[in-house]
Structure 1
Amino acid sequence: MWKRGLVLLAGLQLTGCATPFERMWQGLATCEFTDLYVDETGRPANLQLANYTPYKVSDGFAWYKVHEELHGLPVVGFIVPASSFEVHALFVDTPIANARRLTHNAYGSEFGDEQKHDEGSAPLLLRDPNNPKRSIIDCTRGESDGEQEDSAMPAMAEVGF
């Protein structure tokens, strides 16, 4: 009985130390996000997301520019769904080699498992095609591989932060 209480207390302490931005992205390691989207009226469904204003909402995505830190990762932007697309992405202001090290330190993974990403159960760390000094952490969930590629990556490649 006391062990369960100790585990609960430890979990509360870890969550309690997290920043609002870190709480908003707490499902990143498994690409499971609770209410992290903008609804059809344009309102954020997540309380932490309400602290940010998108600079653009188009093609089913809400785009944000920020200067935040997520467990040591310098985040300069992110996208969340503004439609039925299940795409969440973070734009990280560091080259991919450093981003791999930082994600490994923070999450115990370099986010390089393409099979898990394709299944929608893990993010994929990518080199930003527009800026070699930046990286993208992509969580895409779709009904087919074609849907994921068509809806997510071309849109990300068009935006520079």
Structure 2
Amino acid sequence: MSPLSSTFCNSAFFILFLFVHFTETANLDTKHPAKGLLKVRLDYGLATQPVHGEDEGEGSHRWVFSSYLEFKDPVSSITDSQLRMMAQNAHKEMEIDMMQYDPEDKDGQFAILPTVMTILAFDNKIILASSQRGRSGFINEWPQSPVKLSLDRCSVF
């Protein structure tokens, strides 16, 4: 390969990298309220907390959506089919909530949407939580994380 074509290929790759990097970011300037009945929303604090040593952009954030519902009566009468439907509806609400943050890439697709919505029903509560997208690793790895502090306290005993 000639030096000129090598330089051209490297330049083209660099321009493509910049284009992809800047076209697949979300706008996290403003926290938006949940729009659906299940109140599924982005964990805004988690998404906007900078990760030490990482550049800004979707890859440097953790994307998790969740909802915590509390009822007057026990949820034991809710069937598995109804819970499955709630999880499916929660996933749709997650998509709606995500659109508030302008997450589309150049093809109009979600660049950072989690794929899984989990549901947990107990006592008179239901918790909905998505899988995590973006920055890899566990949330409890952060030095000032409340989860890490709680785990550290438990390990003392």
User: Please, what TM-score do these two structures have when normalized by structure 2?
Assistant: 0.31
Instruction: Specify which structure has the higher proportion of strand.
Output: 1
Structure whose CA Rg is larger: 2
Instruction: Specify which structure has the higher proportion of helix.
Output: 2
User: Please, what TM-score do these two structures have when normalized by structure 1?
Assistant: 0.31
User: Larger RCO: Structure 1 or Structure 2 (Cα < 8 Å, ≥ 6 residues apart)?
Assistant: 2
